[in-house]
Amino acid sequence: MISPKLSEIFQKRLIVFFYLVAFVFSLLLMKLFYLQVVKYSYFMRLARERTYDRLFIPAPRGRIFDRRGLLLAGDRPVFNIYLDPRYLRGREDQVLHRLARILGEDFHRLKTDYLLRKREAYGEVLLRRRLDQDVVARLEARRYFLPGIRIEARPERYYPLGQAFFHLLGYVSPITREELRRLKALGYEPSDYLGRIGLEKVYEDLLRGKKGEREVERDAFGRVVKIVSETPPRPGYDLFLTVESPLQQYAYQLFEGKSGAAVVLRPQDGEVLALVSAPAPDPEGFVKGWSPETWQAIQKDPLHPLLNKALLSFHPGSTFKPVTLLAALEAHLVTPKEVIFCPGYHRLGRRIFRCWRRWGHGKVDLLRALAESCDTYFYVLGERLDIDYLADFARRCGFGKPSGLGLPGERPGIVPDRSWKRVRYGSRWQKGETLNVAIGQGFLEVNLLQLTRFYAALANGGTLWRPWVVKKILGPEGDLLQGNKPEVLGRLPVHRENLRWIIRGLTEAVEGKRGTGRAAQVPGIQVAGKTGTAQVVRIKTKKRPGRKQEEVPYQERDHAWFVAFAPVKRPEVVVGIFVEHGGHGGSAAAPIAGKLLKFYLQGELPQPRPGS
């Protein structure tokens, strides 16, 4: 029998236990209330985020067409496979083993690729691109056993005409991690591509379009079980160019095995008919990715395929002589009929400036000076001219500043004067340096587009047009966003009579018996033009005579230039040619220009396709 004292102790303990249990249950009820009521919206959102997912639908990039409606850049569908690490925890090896068997790849290599890409990825990991349809079908058939995978059909950029348009159109390549941090607020995702150079870069905002959105419901393994809602993407805007594709392709072909550039303009309004830099890599290589060996070979190529030589600045050589001559004519420092004797050199103080023809040209007037490119004639003009006046005149002719085309990477060149040298080198200008500038050497640098635009102004009577290549921009529904028109940037600071003398001299340079540009002749059509041979390195006089170009190391060979327009009386086209380390302008650049002129003026350019 339990004593009253023990019974009292037991009852007290029972009461304490009861209160303790009641307290614990109260805590549980309070926690339950907190979770179910107070934090309801928070946990509901978490549950929804784990059940529902928002996917971006890539927008087709805007297309690029030539002036006749031929596709230059467009998109084609490809299948990519993505892995979501959130649904692969504890299952990575199992899923990757199954994927390796379906893809026909080594498991260890596939896993290594996945882990490396996972470190760089934000969210989903893009494992493989451009799957063929048989692989896609096998993946779809086994999707139930592959948690966390997603197969997406997305547009991929391609360039039907390849390398010929590389430097004009540019290319796209995957966005980098650093770029993504900077551009994420603008809607870019890890799987996006960016325009890198050329028109792809200039018009990135219009070409990229606007992504669509798809809200989906997933099961516990990350598989999509239901599409809740969908907003379709809006394709990018289409660009229609002024370029003639056959002319562009032909120009690129003419540079096979050479390094250089070609620019073809319409003198009446500045339209760009062709802009080529050679050699060039395949733009699709940047979309698909280069192998390390191929990329290394491209970077080490001595012909510099990644550089747009139409926009880089070089010494123009004798192609600059019309600028010098016009400046002297306008300043009344020379007359067209004045005769200057060329013994093969010109003496200035103790220095000897040599003409390219060692034995000299004899008596030379304006027409012969241009036709035969007599250096001595222009040395004399350089001695008469003030460098500040010549530099100002050249700038008014469009040199020393960007051409206005708007492509990235254009170098404005150098038009030197006294203040430029003082700032650059901290020294005074020497008169002999003016003589070098007068023949297109020395500190002077121009790019091919600037030079071709100047000759277009000579051809049309003095108007400097802004070069332009985008004719119109259309929206996805065919609505006109922008229609571009020719724009006048200025006029050459010359009188018409002086302009006529220059054109006569340029005509003689091609059509004359002793002209340096005879290789650019087109049967039945009168051509005007000027050759240029620009020294790259200073060669000692005793080494120069009789030395053949093939005996000179490639990097030391002269640059070859030629710019021409035709027909002379009513010019329809202007062609500028630059051959890097090509040797003489008359033998390396003029033949290319002649073939392009003949192709454009007498060849068969295709007619526009109906409805294009």
3-state secondary structure of 541: helix
Q: Is the dihedral of CA 282, 476, 192, 215 positive or negative?
A: negative
Structure tokens at 13: 């303990």
DSSP H or E run through 489: strand 488-491
Distance of CA 146 to the CA centre of its chain: 42
Q: Which residue has the tokens 């040599």?
A: 354
Cα separation, 240 vs 485, whole angstroms: 13
Q: How many CB atoms sit inside 10 A of residue 245's CB? A: 23
Do strands 351-354 and 480-483 pair parallel, antiparallel, or not at all (unpaired)? unpaired
CB contact at 8 A, 68 and 609: yes
Quote the CA–CA distance of 272 and 61 in Å, as a whole number: 24
What CA–CA distance (Å, rounded) separates 128 from 288? 11
CA atoms within 13 A on the CB side of 470: 25
- Tell me whether residue 318 is one of the annotated catalytic residues: yes
Q: Alpha-carbon distance 8 to 15, whole Å?
A: 11
Phi, psi of 539 (to 5 degrees): -110, 130
Residue 359 CA from chain centroid, whole number: 45
191, 277, 318, 373: the catalytic one is: 318
Which residues are marked as active site? 318
